[in-house]
């Protein structure tokens, strides 16, 4: 077992998870500011239009803030429903006008749920998986590339294999390559592994 490579992989995973956490916190703050602005505008626009229509005698509805807040909750609920019925295959130019309108109207809820989705990008390997992953990286470095159909031989445990491949892809260590209609897996930056292999 290559302990230097294993520790380098552990640091890489830790750095990836720290970046995911920072981007989630940043995204969460951005979404919070967005909803505060929407809440402010939701309270301000009715007052603005009432002032235009009735002049200085216009009165703000007593329950306006509550209505705006309830509207935001309904908006998030609609976004949640749209999220569960969404098909990712549709590009903007393939959508109907109604589909485009729904996509645009649900942008704030989609941004809100994207913060949670981003947190799901954290990866974790236990000690056994870390050893298997570092061994796989080392073999991949020496081989140059490995056929995808041979990966189950290199990583026989199904659950561990899926977690290891997901982790190595998420941390930008491996990539899928197609050569003559055959899928291979290869290191993205073999020169970075050379110091540890």
| Domain assignments of the chain as residue spans, ordered by start | 10-119, 125-194
Tell me what the pLDDT averaged over the chain comes to.
Answer: 87
pTM over 0.95: no
Contact indicator for 165, 129 with CB cutoff of 8 Å: no
Does 180 or 60 have the greater pLDDT score? 180
Going 130 to 135 to 140 to 142, the CA torsion angle's sign is positive
Distance CA 47, CA 193 (A): 62
Distance CA 114, CA 31 (A): 10
Q: Helix 64-85 to helix 107-119 angle, to the nearest 10 degrees?
A: 60
What residues contact 176, with CB distance under 8 A and at least 6 apart? 148, 183, 184, 185
Going 76 to 81 to 84 to 85, the CA torsion angle's sign is negative
DSSP string, 70-123: HHHHHHHHHHHHHHHH--TT--GGGS-HHHHHHHHHTHHHHHHHHHHHHHTT--
pLDDT of residue 185: 92
Q: For the segment 97-129, what is each residue's pLDDT rounded down to a tens digit? A: 877 787 788 889 999 999 989 988 999 999 999
Length of the chain: 197
Report the top-level CATH class of 125-194: mainly alpha
């Amino acid at each position: 077992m290559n302990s230097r490579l294993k520790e380098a992989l552990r640091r890489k995973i830790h750095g990836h998870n720290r970046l995911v956490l920072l981007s989630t916190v940043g995204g969460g703050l951005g979404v919070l500011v967005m909803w505060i602005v929407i809440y402010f505008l939701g309270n301000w626009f009715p007052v603005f239009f009432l002032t235009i229509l009735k002049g200085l005698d216009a009165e703000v509805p007593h329950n306006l803030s509550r209505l705006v807040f309830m509207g935001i909750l309904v908006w998030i609920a609609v976004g949640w429903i749209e999220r569960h019925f969404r098909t990712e295959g549709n590009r903007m130019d393939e959508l109907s006008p109604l589909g485009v309108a729904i996509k645009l109207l649900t942008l704030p809820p989609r941004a809100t749920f994207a913060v949670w989705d981003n947190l799901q990008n954290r990866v974790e390997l236990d000690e056994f998986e870390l050893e298997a992953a570092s061994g796989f990286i080392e073999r991949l470095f020496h081989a140059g590339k490995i056929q995808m159909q041979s990966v189950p031989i290199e990583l026989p445990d199904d659950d561990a294999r899926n977690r290891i491949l997901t982790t190595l892809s998420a941390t930008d260590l491996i990539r899928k390559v197609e050569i003559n209609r055959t899928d291979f897996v290869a290191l993205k930056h073999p020169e970075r592994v050379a110091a540890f292999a």
